[in-house]
């Protein structure tokens, strides 16, 4: 009997697709973040466009992850199975990006100042720019006074996991159906 390398209906390893897709999505998002950090931080609009593009690409690829898992399961997948696959990919993506962001901030201590200058440049183009710049300056000064703590960093990580998981639940609901029970 001939064995196939990757049979569509093979339910053997339910983690292969989510892990591979999680790594692919993480790499794509890290590349986009690196481009954003290197070239676009001082242009807040361009930075936000790249950030939103990165989120959309990530969301689309998470949906593709669930779709691929559904196909692997013979086009029938429960909501739980769909969410499990998407959640594994989410964990890989969020944790990888979190680590990349922390390393980037350590390697470039002027990053937060460049972000601040980008926000100020954008604020100059709006009505009440003097007031907005004053508010931005106060926020930035407060950020500088607050020490970076592991608790705050982990809270941010958990916040990202929760936000992406909500999206994952929505995708799982769209992809999954409760399997019919046979009597």
Over the chain (183 residues), what is each successive 10-residue block's mean pLDDT? 45 85 96 91 85 93 94 90 95 96 88 84 81 84 81 92 95 79 50
**φ, ψ dihedrals at 3, nearest 5°:** -100, 135
CA 33 to chain CA mean position, Å: 11
What would the two tokens of residue 76 be? Answer: 């029938």
Judge contact between 59 and 168, C-beta under 8 A: no
* Predicted model pTM: 0.80
Helix boundaries (H) for 73-149: 79-107, 111-123, 129-145
C-alpha distances (whole Å) from 155 to each of 72, 96, 151 are: 35, 16, 6
What would the two tokens of residue 24 be? Answer: 């692919």
pLDDT for the residue 9:
45
What would the two tokens of residue 38 be? Answer: 């290197």
* 131-149 per-residue burial string, b: 16 or more CB within 10 A, e: under 16: ebbeebeeebeeeeeeeee
pLDDT for the residue 92:
97
Exposure on the CB side of residue 116, measured as CA atoms within 13 A? 17
pLDDT for the residue 163:
94
pLDDT for the residue 63:
95
What would the two tokens of residue 154 be? Answer: 């982990």
């Amino acid at each position: 009997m001939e064995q196939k390398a990757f049979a569509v209906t093979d339910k053997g390893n339910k983690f292969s697709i989510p892990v591979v897709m999680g790594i692919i999505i993480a790499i794509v998002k890290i590349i986009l973040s690196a481009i954003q950090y290197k070239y676009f931080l001082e242009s807040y609009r361009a930075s936000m466009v790249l950030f939103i593009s990165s989120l959309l690409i990530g969301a689309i690829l998470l949906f593709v992850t669930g779709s691929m898992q559904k196909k692997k399961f013979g086009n029938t997948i429960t909501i739980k199975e769909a969410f499990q696959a998407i959640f594994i990919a989410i964990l890989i993506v969020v944790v990888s990006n979190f680590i990349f962001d922390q390393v980037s901030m350590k390697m470039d201590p002027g990053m937060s100042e460049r972000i601040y200058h980008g926000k100020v440049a954008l604020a100059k183009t709006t009505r009440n720019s003097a007031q907005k710049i004053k508010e931005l300056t106060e926020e930035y000064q407060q950020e500088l006074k607050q020490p970076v703590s592991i608790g705050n960093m982990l809270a941010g990580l958990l916040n990202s996991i929760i936000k992406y998981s909500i999206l994952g639940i929505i995708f799982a609901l769209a992809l999954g159906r409760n399997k019919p029970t046979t009597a």
